[in-house]
Amino acid sequence: NAGVTQTPKFQVLKTGQSMTLQCAQDMNHEYMSWYRQDPGMGLRLIHYSVGAGITDQGEVPNGYNVSRSTTEDFPLRLLSAAPSQTSVYFCASSHFPGHRETQYFGPGTRLLVL
Amino acid sequence: GQSLEQPSEVTAVEGAIVQINCTYQTSGFYGLSWYQQHDGGAPTFLSYNALDGLEETGRFSSFLSRSDSYGYLLLQELQMKDSASYFCAVSGAGNNRKLIWGLGTSLAVNP
């Protein structure tokens, strides 16, 4: 199993550009989520999904959109990039309800917005 | 609102025992998780407590007291590779099980 994969690993954007961060998992997990992590900070939840066709907002959803058309994929779209969105983005998945609430994380996407 | 507090930094020596505390305030509570993150890496799951008491997994143990809204992670026989950030996270009761994270504790293990 590949686990949770994310692409790209690194990305540089100009202010105002849009892009999609890809996330896929092959563990048949119902629950998927997107976090951002800024230096010296914990993880902040952007959006999450408890199953295909179901998404909801986390703590910091503004400027981001998600969709969940399949169990495997959960892309994150930046609508109009801003320097404040410079961050490391992690995608995570787990069974829902979870066994021991274990979330499995992808390797992250490092985004720089100029 | 929901918040978690944990120390920002802890320093210890190889072979020692270290305890990282976490106190939380949440509007609903299902369980307390602990994750480890090395620099530049992704968080990895360490331990989880839904009920009061101690959970042991090898050199790592985690404790929860729901009445005190408090938990801790205990790391024994510290090794240099344990130098990392450690996060506590609370999953809320209800249908969404969202994880809310502490800001992390940076553990430095010295020779």
pLDDT tens figures, A78-109: 999 999 999 999 999 988 765 567 899 999 99
Radius of gyration (Cα) for chain A, nearest Å?
A: 13
Contact A101 B100 (CB under 8 A): no
Task: Give the minimum alpha-carbon distance from A78 to chain B in angstroms, rounded to a whole number.
Answer: 21
For residue B56, the number of C-alpha atoms closer than 13 Å in the C-beta half-sphere is: 3
Q: Does pLDDT of B54 surpass 60?
A: yes
Residue B3: the pLDDT is 86
Contacts of B57 in chain A (CB under 8 A): none
- Measure the CA–CA gap between B13 and B35, rounded to whole angstroms: 21
Structure tokens of B32? Answer: 């307390």
Q: Does pLDDT of B93 surpass 70?
A: no
Residue A8: the pLDDT is 97
Structure tokens of B23? Answer: 């106190």
Contact B91 A101 (CB under 8 A): yes
Nearest one of B91, B88, B84 to B106, comparing CA atoms: B84
Contact A42 B104 (CB under 8 A): yes
pLDDT tens readout for residues A24-62: 999 999 999 999 999 877 899 999 998 999 999 988 999
Q: Does pLDDT of B95 surpass 70?
A: no
Mean pLDDT, all residues of chain B: 91
DSSP state of B34: E
Q: Does pLDDT of A4 surpass 90?
A: yes
Contact A64, A56 (CB under 8 A): no
